[in-house]
């Protein structure tokens, strides 16, 4: 199998600003255009977000959504949330180790980490065991130091202004 990348790097897209998932999915689009294969594991996103249908149309893109279709808070976690996070980790491990994918996006994994749904040591282990030519992107707020130490690229997206502050909820096609 021809690889697009000789060496895959680790990206972290973090911060309070909007655009972490959008940026990561932009890389999926770019990798598809370069003839590469991508996998996306969405943690804590059981809702049918608009990007899912489009990603399914792209050749060589595999998507696994995990989580309940509810907004989660740390104080409302259930056994099902832990089971879904484990399912996401199993998929991530397989995708990263296989050598089949040029790019693997672990969307909102940093939030799953900060909520305690998965342990930092387990994420570090799958990152250290990834295939050499596989690029990986971890998105979400509040990544632990263990993840930041492994990153080759860190982008901190800072919110300057957001319509939510004026009461405008998420809009289909733009925010969800």
Asked if residue 3 belongs to a domain, the reply is no
CATH of the domain at 24: 3.40.50.300
Instruction: Write the pLDDT tens digit of every residue in 105-133.
Output: 999 999 999 999 999 999 999 999 999 99
Specify the pLDDT at position 77: 95
Its domain, for residue 28, covers: 10-166
Phi-psi category of 107—alpha, beta or left, where left has phi over 0 and alpha has psi -120 to 50?
beta
Asked if residue 121 belongs to a domain, the reply is yes
Instruction: Write the pLDDT tens digit of every residue in 60-91.
Output: 999 999 999 888 899 999 999 999 999 999 99
Specify the pLDDT at position 119: 98
**1 pLDDT exceeds 70?**
no
Asked if residue 160 belongs to a domain, the reply is yes
Asked if residue 2 belongs to a domain, the reply is no
Asked if residue 176 belongs to a domain, the reply is no
Q: How many domains does the chain have?
A: 1
* pLDDT (mean) for 2-25: 94
Asked if residue 33 belongs to a domain, the reply is yes
């Amino acid at each position: 199998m021809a690889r697009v990348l000789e060496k895959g790097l680790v990206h972290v897209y973090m911060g309070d600003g909007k655009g972490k998932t959008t940026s990561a999915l932009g890389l999926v689009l770019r990798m598809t255009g370069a003839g590469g294969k991508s996998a996306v594991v969405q943690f804590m996103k059981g809702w049918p977000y608009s990007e899912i249908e489009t990603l399914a149309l792209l050749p060589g893109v595999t998507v696994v959504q995990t989580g309940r279709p509810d907004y989660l808070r740390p104080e409302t976690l259930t056994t099902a949330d832990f089971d879904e996070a484990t399912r996401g980790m199993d998929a991530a491990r397989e995708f990263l180790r296989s050598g089949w994918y040029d790019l693997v996006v672990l969307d909102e994994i940093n939030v799953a980490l900060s909520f305690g749904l998965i342990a930092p040591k387990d994420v570090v282990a799958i990152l250290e065991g990834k295939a050499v030519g596989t690029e990986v992107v971890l998105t979400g707020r509040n990544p632990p130091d263990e993840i930041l130490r492994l990153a080759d690229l860190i982008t901190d997206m800072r919110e300057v202004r957001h319509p939510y502050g004026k009461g405008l909820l998420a809009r289909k096609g733009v925010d969800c």
